[in-house]
Chain A
Amino acid sequence: MNANAIRGSKRRMSWKAWCKQAKEQKSLLVLSVLFFAYGFIFCYLPLVGWLIGFQDYRPRDGILGSKFVGLQVFQTLFEDPEFWLTVRNTLAMSLLNLVFSTIFAILFAVLLNEVRCMIGKKFVQTVSYLPHFLSWIVACNILFDTLGSTGIVNELLMKMHVITAPLNFFSYPQGFWWIVAIAVVWKETGWNAIIYLAAITSIDPNLYEAAAIDGGGRWVKMRYITLPGIANTIIILLILNVGNVLNSGFEVQYLMGNDVIRDFSQTIDIYVLKWGISQSNYAIGTAAGIFRSAVSIVLILITNAIAKRTSDTRLF
């Protein structure tokens, strides 16, 4: 009873004490108003724009003046086969990217950790970060030339007599998903490995010593100490990334896609851009955006809950 009362009084500050604190924090509170206003305008006001997805939106009349049409826009959207193609492509490419970039990042981190020569290790690691800092524009320029008719890939294949004439890699619809996956692996492996390398350094060194005394070689240490040691990190990152499968996939697809492979290269974002901005059909673009956000939020909440249950780590 008594303890409860004390706890209660602690939780609810008296009005007087509150005023005193507020006076002390005058500068912070004034700034708070600015930050709330800024966040409201740039992060929350766009949410009001979701109403456009439920309207027969006319730019001239604005959100307030346009007529509400219920779920009609969504009906049009869901009946559009092209939209479902973009959903499929987004999911497929996100999952391919997730699987391959995770595998390569882990492989790279584990193998790099085994290197004893510090200069070599530092050099490889420094090089591995390089592509992450390039913009996708530059990366796609590089990709375009590497896979081009005089690029190294065609030359190697021709020298090995696999092909007789240079291939145009960007003309195979199904191949596009793999090109994107390779590009993402090339660009992000070193960067993604940072987190796994940090997890490896936090493994208890005594375990390795014990394994060495028992005569365990490198394979044994890697298989039975390093990998289990970072298993938790791997699982958490995988789960959390699954929540983002609909949120990625724009730049490479937009920059490298072409009309021949459109059915396999277009993602939801490109659909939104095409209908919303280029065709000025704001309602359908907004509806597609709402669909993606809604699915993403549900996925993130689920994956966050699973991650929380798996370990103590969670999103916030």
Chain B
Amino acid sequence: MAEKTLVTAPESTKHRTVKKSPADRAFVICNTIFLILFTVVTLYPVINQLAISFNDAADALRGGIYVLPRQLSLQNYVTVLSRQNLLTGLWISVARTVLGTVLGLFITALLAFMCSRPKYLLKKQMNLFWIITMYVNGGMIPVFLLYKDLGFTNSFWVYIVPGLTGAFNMMVLRSYMENLPVSMEESAQLDGAGYMTIFLKIILPLCTPVLATVALFIAVGQWNSWFDAMLYNRMSEQYTTLQYELMKLLAAATTSGAGTQYSHSNTGSMVTPASIRAAGSIVTMLPIVCLYPFLQRYFITGMTLGAVKE
């Protein structure tokens, strides 16, 4: 391939800006086809779910629904949003995401602030203390038994308290804080500002971009997590999350085969497990799908910051 391009080289240098060499043109075409294919493969399954969720459930069983619904119906969504367990799950998911993100972000930022102060007396010890946690953890059973002893079973707080801070997010924040200019902080210190004032009034406002990044990481983690609900709150329906309720629907489907059983919704029309799952999936992914395109700049920075440290 390289040989071929070299042969056509003199020609292409002559009109480099005007005309592309045949090899280049072939490349652009192949590349475009590949990326279009990639986009279709990525998007199609999601759009298909959307189509199924808006289609009449009984009609959907016949198959053949691709991008657009065949018999438009809102019944699936009406059913999903009137099921008590799914509604409770939605509220718990929203509550854990909001509370967990706000608290987690503040506390992790505070920890990162401490660990990034050059004069902090326990800097080395504190950093090491948290880095070790990235490598060694107790594993599922000891953690489960501990949380049980701490009273985290059948409780909302199991979603919030254990995840208040973590080494990875701390390191992303810390590496950003370490690169901030120190002049502002020094002059504030001369004016008699304490560490807490510096943190709240100077460092936090300067960190807005990286705070947005970490907030996104925490929020997505909170919204998407289901395993904690299954492990600790299986028995108490008032604390299960939306993801866990959706997981129960999926588990029922994988053990009984694709949705063939009919069931009657409150209003009398047909719904099937498959269409409920589709509508549930769409409701579950909606908040994130609406938000993430606007936060791209932030998570790309976060990924690169994290990787530099890695």
Q: Please give the residue numbers on chain A whose beta carbons come within 8 Å of chain B beta carbons, in ascending order.
A: 18, 21-22, 25, 27-29, 31-32, 35-36, 38-39, 41-50, 52, 59, 108, 111-112, 114-115, 120, 123-131, 133-138, 140-146, 148-150, 152, 155, 170, 186, 189-191, 194-195, 198, 212-220, 223-224, 240, 250-251, 255-256, 258, 269, 272-273, 276-277, 282, 285-286, 289-290, 292-293, 297, 300, 313, 315-316
Contact = CB atoms under 8 A, between A and B. Distances in A.
Contacts, number: 273
B27 A35 contact: no
Contacts of A276: 140-141, 144
Contact of B110 (A31, A112, A129, A133): A31
A144 B250 contact: yes
Interface stretch (B68-76, B127-135, B179-187): B127-135
B98 interface: no
A292 to B, nearest CB: 7
A29 B122 CA distance: 8
B39 A124 contact: yes
Contacts of A220: 2, 5-6
Interface in B103-138: 110-111, 114, 117, 119-122, 126, 129-131, 133, 135-138
A49 B131 CA distance: 20
Contacts of B48: 142, 145-146, 152
Given A216-B9, A217-B5, A25 B119 contact: yes
Contacts of A136: 224
Nearest to A223: B2
Contacts of B8: 217
Main secondary structure of the interface of A (DSSP, over half): helix
Contacts of A189: 38
Central interface residue in A41, A125, A135, by most chain B CB within 10 Å: A135
Contacts of B21: 217
Given A27-B194, A195-B303, A114 B258 contact: no
A189 B293 CA distance: 17
B38 A108 contact: yes
A192 B117 CA distance: 32
Contacts of A155: 63-64
Nearest to B167: A43
Contacts of A316: 131, 171, 309
B310 A49 contact: no
A124 B35 contact: yes
Q: Which 4 A-B pairs have the closest CB atoms?
A: A46-B138, A49-B142, A215-B9, A289-B139
Contacts of B196: 27
Nearest to B138: A46
A130 B140 contact: no
B201 interface: no
A217 B23 contact: yes
A224 B249 CA distance: 51
B82 interface: no
Interface string B236-258: 00000001001100110111001
Interface in B2-48: 2, 5-6, 8-10, 12-13, 16, 21, 23-24, 27-28, 31-32, 34-35, 38-39, 41-46, 48
A127 B39 contact: yes
Main secondary structure of the interface of B (DSSP, over half): helix
Contacts of B310: 240, 313, 315
Interface of B: 1-2, 5-6, 8-10, 12-13, 16, 21, 23-24, 27-28, 31-32, 34-35, 38-39, 41-46, 48-49, 52, 61-64, 66, 110-111, 114, 117, 119-122, 126, 129-131, 133, 135-146, 150, 161-162, 164-165, 171, 194-196, 220, 223-227, 231, 243, 246-247, 250-251, 253-255, 258, 274, 277-278, 280-281, 284-285, 288-289, 292-293, 296, 299-300, 303-304, 307, 309-310
Central interface residue in B119, B131, B139, by most chain A CB within 10 Å: B139
Contact of B23 (A219, A224, A240, A251): A219
Contacts of B138: 45-50, 289
Given A134-B288, A148-B258, A289-B139, A127 B43 contact: yes
Given A114-B27, A194-B303, 11 more contacts: A25-B120, A28-B120, A49-B145, A115-B35, A145-B49, A155-B63, A217-B24, A217-B27, A223-B2, A300-B135, A313-B310
